[in-house]
Amino acid sequence: MYGSPEHGGWSSKRTLALQTEHNRSARGLQGMIFTRDDRAGEGKLSFRLGLVTDAVEVEDGQDVYASLVDHLAHGGRADYVIADEAQFLAEEQIDQLARVVDDLDIDVYAFGITTDFRSKLFPGSQRLVELADRVEVLQVEALCWCGARATHNARTVGGAMVVEGAQVVVGDVDQADTVGYEVLCRRHHRRRMASASARAAALSPDVLPVQQV
């Protein structure tokens, strides 16, 4: 089982998941894609540039190992498994993916981000790191609004960073009007200063220089 947790955002993780699918399907292989809470909707694996492919939506309490066995038992084919948004899977579902590798001898490629908007590990990501045969951490070349390397995921509501609420809320990046997400450096994540807050502070008359006549 190959785990690819990512620091600082979603885009590179999802790009790699789609590339993994494309490379294998181009060689005539057939895979099963599991995902959860993709912003394109149920049963979809998407990328912001418009690329979308069908996937199996994982539900609460679903046994992904049993789902794959059922697929194979009914004549389906699965040369490999891709699990995107692995951070949203339950710990037991990560265990089930490991069983796919051990008992069915099918490679599993799992992709997810490591920490939530509070800088806490997702249970699914933690279990993935604990069980994966190989872990590749994607150090994304994402930048905070200040220009420093982005290392933390932030949730915003109306452009303001929030640090309370449910761990999983589906939103999109750079959406200031509703629930959105953006990446920040540690300094500005600790200061709860998202890009909209920074712009508002820069435009405030209170911080403008005063000219003496």
Q: In the structure, what pLDDT confidence band is assigned to residue 170 with cuts at 50, 70 and 90?
A: low
Per-residue pLDDT of 23-50, as tens digits, reads 998 999 999 999 987 655 556 565 555 5
| Nearest residue to 17 via CA among 40, 34, 42, 29 | 34
What percent of the chain is modeled with pLDDT above 70?
Answer: 76
Average pLDDT over residues 45-61: 75
* 181 Ramachandran zone, left/alpha/beta (phi>0; psi -120 to 50): beta
Q: Spell out the SS3 assignment of 130-166.
A: HHCCEECCEECCCECCCCCECCEEEEEECCEEECCCC
Which residue in 6, 85, 164, 182 is the catalytic one? 85
Going by pLDDT thresholds of 50, 70 and 90, the confidence category of residue 140 is low
Is 59 among the residues known to form the active site?
Answer: no
CA end-to-end span of the chain: 70
Calpha distance 3→82 (Å, rounded): 10
Please state the rounded mean pLDDT for residues 99-121.
92
CB 7 within 8 A of CB 140: yes
* Residue 103 pLDDT > 70: yes
Q: Report how far residue 44's alpha carbon sits from residue 17's, in angstroms, rounded to the nearest whole number.
A: 12
Residues 6+ apart with CB under 8 A from 60: 90
Confidence class for position 63, pLDDT limits 50, 70, 90: very high
Q: Give the CA count within 13 Å in the CB-facing half-sphere of 64.
A: 31
Tell me how long the chain is: 213
Phi-psi label, residue 27: left if phi above 0, alpha if psi -120 to 50, beta otherwise: alpha
Does the pLDDT at position 159 exceed 70?
A: yes
Least confident of 11-15, 80-84, 140-144: 11-15
In whole angstroms, give the CA distance from residue 70 to residue 20.
Answer: 24
pLDDT band at 147 (very low <50, low <70, confident <90, very high): very high
Backbone angles phi, psi at 10, to 5 degrees: -105, -30
Q: What is the DSSP string of 24-83?
A: HHTTT--EEEEE-S-TT-TTEEE-TTS-EEE-EEPPTT--HHHHHHHHHHTT---SEEEE
> What is the chain's mean pLDDT, rounded?
82
Phi and psi of 149, rounded to 5°? Answer: -65, 130
